[in-house]
Amino acid sequence: MSTSTMVTNWSTRARSYSPPAKYLPVIATFVLLISMFGAGSLRYEGFADPQVILNLFVDNAFLLVLGVGMTFVILTGGIDLSVGSVVALSTMIAASTLEAGWPAFASVITVLICGTLLGTLMGLVIHYFDVQPFIATLAGMFLARGLCYLISVESIPIRNTTFSSFAQGTITLPGGYRITPSVVLALVIVGVAAWVLHMTRFGRTVYAVGGSESSAHLMGLRVAMVKVGVYAISGLCSALAGLLFSVYMLSGYSLHAVGMELDAIAAVVIGGTLLTGGRGLVLGTMLGVLLLGTIQTFISFDGTLSSWWTKISIGVLLLVFVLIQRFLTRRQA
- Which pLDDT tens digit goes with each residue over 196-252? 999 999 999 999 999 999 999 999 999 999 999 999 999 999 999 999 999 999 999
Please give the residue range of the domain that contains residue 306. Answer: 21-332
**Is 221 within the bounds of a domain?**
yes
The reply to whether 232 falls in a domain is: yes
Look at residue 12 and tell me if it is in a domain.
no
H or E element, residue 247: helix 223-249
Q: Which residues of the chain have pLDDT under 70?
A: 1-21, 328-329, 331-333
Whether residue 92 lies inside any domain: the answer is yes
Cα–Cα distance measured from residue 61 to residue 77, given in angstroms and rounded to the nearest whole number = 25
* pLDDT computed for residue 91 by the predictor: 98
Query: pLDDT, tens digit, for every residue of 82-100?
Result: 999 999 999 999 999 999 9
Domain presence at residue 2: no
Write down the pTM of the prediction: 0.92
Q: Assess if residue 14 is contained within a domain.
A: no
Tally of domains within the chain: 1
CATH of the domain at 124: 1.10.3470
Cα–Cα distance between 272 and 56 in angstroms, integer? 19
Q: Which amino acid is at 37?
A: F
Given a contact cutoff of 8 angstroms between Cβ atoms, the answer to whether 197 and 282 are in contact is yes
Q: Is 97 within the bounds of a domain?
A: yes
1 found inside a domain: no
Asked if 277 and 211 touch (Cβ cutoff 8 Å), the reply is: yes
The whole-angstrom distance between residue 148's C-alpha and the CA centroid of its chain comes to 22
